[in-house]
Chains A and B, each alone.
Chain A
């Protein structure tokens, strides 16, 4: 059993010598931490050690000032599974509270610049996956150690039982918080580090505070990159960052600098020089805070769909939108960031429109449809279209020399505006602009997980909804014609791919509905081509099934069909605007479908259905292959009144033959048994 009291005594003695060597003290602490921070030492003993360290340094503030930065690293070692019960009340945790006291002491007494530097280094090194792995490893090791408990020989070992033995003082069992280990430890570490960083930053006396603020912003971004993709409760991060921004107080000009102004002393500044520096520093701080705000709001919630899209869908469908508790909590923080961004004098609308312009500019560099002469060229350019946003944004990152707001954050905030005010930030966004915006933010994620962001892509989809519901159909068709066909197809493919990756049923349904609406607006040939290509080689079978349902809708429903009507607010306007067109259409004998059936089109789909039957007949078939055949069956049932009867018979015959073949193959097996 370890004699912690002896360790504490030795630490006291080391601090009580005439000339304390900080390096020696730090080395001693490191050795002691390694000894104390093991499973063989009880939580109360560890607490005793930590409190002794804190108390000793409170009495030796000069030493604390010098070694505080390294002490923080040692304290971090105590934030782990063995020491903190993740389900208990943190306020009663013997080690957690001692660690907090330690960080507090460092924040107030450590050399501010060095402490800030260490805090930022520790913050940027946080990694969610590593935290989880460490948690699991600690658990596994604890099991192994339980099985083979052996005491090692050590000069600090004692045979007395004055150290509260190995029994742990578990928190009140009546209190049980259902916490996720990764979230808990990342949340706790972010909390103590932000507290330390904020406090030490406030103590730095400098004429150039932006230099230190930049360090904090950079470390926070790094931390977000490695924690946000896995964290389940993004509010753990958002709260800390918001709190930091909200309580941010600009540094005052150091007194020594002020006292020298206008004097002949060495290094003295003139009032003009000082004013210029202060002005530039203020500007730099504002830019950095805006950057922190926009980067955080976009990336902390990157794994969560933007609720604006669902809310708007519900609103236009005349359904009640009920936000789950979790989304309400996320929105509360989003709202805070929205107002924080406003408080930084940012015109979110203007920034958003700039984003739209930039997105348009990216895709306008591509050639127009009519200039592409061959299919090969078209395919090559389509590939470029997919990668264009990624290439552009990588280049932008490489060449960017100024601090700027995170565009993803601006897009996210533009959608938060709807949740905040129940009205769109921009009342009317042309469909072509919404498509460029969507392509810009959605396609880049295919090439790097760094750009994968459900929240931001959801915001871009929300704007597609805004577009398709705030113009008349004829206006929308006109706007869609402004974009090259291959780009529209790229958008369809992206939308379908992203929708198929979506795990939440509700969001998948909303996205498929959006895709259907957009296909209704596209040129028939283009819509059919997209559906054909999807049925041919789309990677997700449920995507193929979804477009079959869409195709059936496009064939069976007519352009006057009210089931695809505009939302409540716009339907009247649409009716008025398209009134003449409707009357003209009424003069025709036949109402037109969104996709007219031709012999060739029916043959193409029938061939694809036969291909699906072939695949489903193979021994290596998957259940999804069989499901697709069933969906073809459902599709043909739904369009049978318009479909070629011979082709329907052909499908049924082949399906029956395939089924018979399968039964035959399986029957001998049954006979054998």
Chain B
């Protein structure tokens, strides 16, 4: 099959990445093909941490068949995610009843940044054309074809993303 068609070219990008799940196992993004995906860099001790509640509500509303949220814990912003993967999981479940996948802790900026994040930042720049992630709970919305369609700042609540998710799910 040729990779020259636009759809496949797009798919080959996002879906070619493999990230690591909470147990340290490989999590190929290929398994998310055909789903709308929301990628969020999360932290447990941040002012935006209560967004977990809204994210979970969004996931409950649309997931997991057609919509998936992947949370990537990151300790790069004021050290607000200091715990281990197990501690983070436990925090999310106990405090916010999170059921969407929380992945292995990663860096989102700098030399050790998760390759997926490098891709996402390149695909969709933030406000003022800036690439790097500004803070915890920045969000990337990916459509069913693997296109990065929206990048939202920490200030954007999960509730306000709802209409966009709904729109993408209809496509």
Contact = CB atoms under 8 A, between A and B. Distances in A.
B153 interface: yes
Interface in A522-539: none
A282 B129 contact: yes
B6 interface: no
A282 B126 CA distance: 11
A286 B79 contact: no
Given A249-B127, A249-B153, A345 B132 contact: yes
Contacts of B110: 342
Interface in B85-143: 109-110, 126-135
A339 B109 contact: yes
A286 B130 contact: yes
Nearest to A246: B135
Most A CB within 10 A of own CB, among B109, B130, B131, B133: B130
Nearest to A242: B78
A250 B125 CA distance: 13
Contacts of A335: 78-79
B77 interface: yes
Interface residues of B, number: 19
Interface string B29-42: 00000000000000
A343 B128 contact: no
Most A CB within 10 A of own CB, among B131, B133, B134: B134
A247 interface: yes
Contacts of B127: 248-250
B155 interface: yes
A497 interface: no
Contact of B134 (A250, A282, A343): A343
Contact of A336 (B77, B109, B133, B155): B77
Contacts of A249: 127, 153, 155
Contacts of A247: 155
A250 B126 CA distance: 10
Interface in A58-88: none
User: Mostly helix, strand, loop or mixed at chain B's interface?
Assistant: loop
Interface string B154-170: 11000000000000000
A345 B131 contact: yes
Nearest to B134: A343
B78 A343 contact: no
Contacts of A248: 127
B131 to A, nearest CB: 5
B76 interface: yes
B78 A336 contact: yes
A414 interface: no
A660 interface: no
A345 B130 contact: yes
A278 B134 CA distance: 21
7 closest cross-chain pairs (CB), A and B: A343-B134, A282-B128, A343-B132, A336-B78, A250-B127, A286-B128, A345-B130
12 contacts: A250-B128, A285-B128, A286-B128, A286-B129, A332-B78, A335-B78, A336-B78, A339-B76, A339-B77, A339-B135, A343-B126, A344-B132
Given A335-B78, A343-B133, 19 more contacts: A246-B134, A246-B135, A246-B154, A247-B155, A248-B127, A249-B155, A250-B127, A282-B128, A286-B129, A332-B79, A335-B79, A339-B76, A339-B78, A342-B110, A343-B130, A343-B135, A344-B130, A344-B132, A345-B131
